[in-house]
Amino acid sequence: MKETPNYGFKKRELTDVADITQTEDNWDVIDQKLKEQEDELATKETPAGAQAKAEAAAGAVQAELDAHVAETVTDTGGVHGLEIEEGIWTPELLGVLTYSYQQGYYKKIGNTVYIACRVDVETVNTEPSVAWATGLPFVKDPNYAIPATIQFWGISLPTDSYGLQCSISGSRIVIQYVNSDDSYINLHNSTLSSNTTIRVSAMYKIQ
């Protein structure tokens, strides 16, 4: 009698005497192999189990990140004692009555402030005034002189001027134009119109 190469099932040959007990042994082999396979599968990780482990690991990582973020926003003076704050502020131009658009944004990291703002003028006050921007959320440290960046449209500058420049002073944005003799002249509201748009961005230190 021959046997199969893998599981040893008995195969009667033509010359073998018929004996039913010999073939019944095959069922015992099948039963044993199926049980072994079942036990092996029971010890393997299911897709649901693998997903649960992945979610648990992701949760642990997120918890660690959340703890780190919490450290960076508390001003404790330690390694992560860095206070971060952001929000909006309302820029105003001296000498302007109304606006069609008026918005400012800031982000404060430690003692450094980043600001950006835009104003679109609608009506200008007839009373003469310097056209400085006010309303900054933090007062600048006077020990640091840091220029700002300005873009503008609809401002009537003298023909011999070189354009505008601005800087932070206290809680104001001082806007000036550069004269032909390289002097700095404060911008006045008489140069503005209903088509004026001013955008300013800057970074400055606070005390």
Q: What is the pLDDT of residues 63-113, one digit of tens each?
A: 665 554 444 443 444 445 677 888 999 999 988 999 999 999 999 988 899
User: For residue range 11-68, what is the model confidence (pLDDT) as tens digits?
Assistant: 777 676 666 666 667 677 777 887 888 777 777 766 777 677 777 777 776 666 555 4
| Residues contacting 120, CB < 8 A, separation 6+ | 99, 100, 101, 102, 196, 197
Partners of residue 167 on adjacent β-strands: 147, 174
Return the residue matching tokens 């990140």.
65
| Dist. CA 65–CA 75, nearest whole Å | 18
Please give the Cα distance from 43 to 58 (Å, whole number): 24
User: What residue segments make up the domains of the chain, in order of their start?
Assistant: 2-72, 84-205
* Residue type, position 14, single letter: L
Burial 50-84 (b: 16+ CB within 10 A, else e): eeeeeeeeeeeeeeeeeeeeeeeeeeeeeeeeeee
